Homo-oligomer: A and B are copies of this chain.
């Protein structure tokens, strides 16, 4: 069990280091924070903290900086929820007013998050697989071509074009449309494959090839896109980081352009705010960054994640508050429908 005082010192180190980006020594620590304790005592405690692997020295005659483990302890045991400032509060309470569609919601959210946290923000689109079909629209473009539009109850719209093997009359298209909607409307996307299993059997043999092509495309739309979409904002904030640039910079920018990597970073969708620090996350290129995420969506069934990514040396309290506040607000907004 680590003594309380030692934790208090760790907090002071983290605070100072985050603020100044410089290894912090015993003297300044004693001066800046009034811990009624002399530098010498602090030195002793620091030696112990180092033994426990929570802090380390870049070189012999320098101050200490927190290790990943140190940040972890800080996040889990020390950091308190930092209340948001009044302007932040206000921004979060209003940023979605007048949002016009899902794209708009997601865009506003990611921008706000980047602005408030001064980090790179990431927002995942509400996952298709957990949302439900609102409507399927079929439009004949030419007699041999259909456009299929899938609209979900989260307001998302997907469209796809089907090439047909045979001509298809307006009447047949209308029949297909109404049958599809009859079956699928209100159905969760992940259940659609099941719902449509014996769908083609309702049609006469001559129509079947066409219907099958159409159905296949619809299935693709529901499944394939469960590889979800992610958007990013605030990359400019990276330039604030004073780290050793060319080295640490390229991989981060690269990761931010790869949907797959980002989805992996965001991780499992779940309630609550999660923090991944440095090496805790397995992407070797991003081991000096930390990620703060939170699920969002209707109560009980979080449909997607949002979060921020920044240097391990970040303001965890502030970031966590902001991320969870934004997640809460977006959830509420989505629940009410817009």
B-binding residues in A (CB < 8 A): 100-101, 134-135, 137, 139, 141, 147, 149, 151, 155, 157, 159-161, 233-236, 238-240, 242, 245-246, 249-250, 253-254, 256-257, 338
Contact = CB atoms under 8 A, between A and B. Distances in A.
Contact of A236 (B155, B245, B250): B250
B239 A257 contact: no
B245 A257 contact: no
B149 A141 contact: no
A239 B250 contact: yes
Given A101-B159, A151-B139, A155-B161, A235 B256 contact: yes
A151 B239 CA distance: 40
A249 B239 contact: yes
Contacts of A160: 100-101
A31 B151 CA distance: 66
A254 B233 CA distance: 10
A239 B239 CA distance: 11
A135 to B, nearest CB: 5
A1 B336 CA distance: 71
Contacts of A134: 139, 141, 147
A249 B234 CA distance: 13
Contacts of A149: 137, 149, 151, 157
Given A137-B137, A139-B151, A246 B239 contact: yes
A184 to B, nearest CB: 14
A151 B157 contact: no
A257 B120 CA distance: 12
> Closest 7 interchain pairs by CB?
A239-B250, A236-B253, A236-B254, A239-B249, A157-B159, A245-B245, A235-B253
Contacts of A249: 239
Nearest to A141: B134
Q: Which of A155, A159, A160 has the most CB of B within 10 A?
A: A159
Nearest to A156: B159
A141 B155 CA distance: 11
Contacts of A246: 239, 242, 245
Nearest to A248: B239
A139 B137 contact: yes
Contacts of A240: 250
Contacts of A257: 233-236
Contacts of A101: 159-161
Nearest to A159: B157
24 contacts: A101-B160, A134-B139, A134-B147, A135-B147, A137-B137, A137-B149, A139-B151, A149-B149, A151-B159, A155-B159, A155-B161, A157-B157, A157-B159, A161-B338, A233-B257, A234-B257, A235-B257, A239-B245, A239-B246, A239-B250, A239-B253, A240-B250, A245-B245, A245-B246
Given A239-B249, A253-B238, A151 B147 contact: yes
Contacts of A253: 235-236, 238-239
Contacts of A233: 257
Nearest to A142: B337
A161 B337 CA distance: 11
A121 to B, nearest CB: 11
Nearest to A255: B236
